[in-house]
Amino acid sequence: MTAFPLILAGTDTLDQGKAVFGTIYVLCGLVYASFALLAIRKDVNGNKWITLFGSLILLIVAFDYFLQAKKYLPYVYLAASLVSLIPLVVKHLKKEREL
């Protein structure tokens, strides 16, 4: 679900003539989809890496929107990136308490 809109945004960005960010979006979307399929097919304990990668993608999108001088969208993507990291931080804190 996350990779598909990212690939669409990448193709739209490529269509606008922004080759660097468009290519980054498409490649990140494809890599994210590959990671997700791998994690689903094989019981891989890589969910934290997939979450970190998704958060990185959201940061890249926020940076792009900052460069485009968008008014509110960069902050939404930045907030989404930070919120997606909350489960990882909570899990890490729980592990530390158990030790």
Query: pLDDT, tens digit, for every residue of 26-68?
Result: 998 898 888 778 777 776 566 777 778 888 888 888 888 898 8
| Cα distance between residue 6 and residue 4, in whole Å | 5
Triad 60, 6, 43: Cα angle to 5°: 95
pLDDT tier at 23, thresholds 50, 70, 90: very high
- In contact, 80 and 58? CB cutoff 8 Å: yes
Which pTM does this prediction carry?
0.68
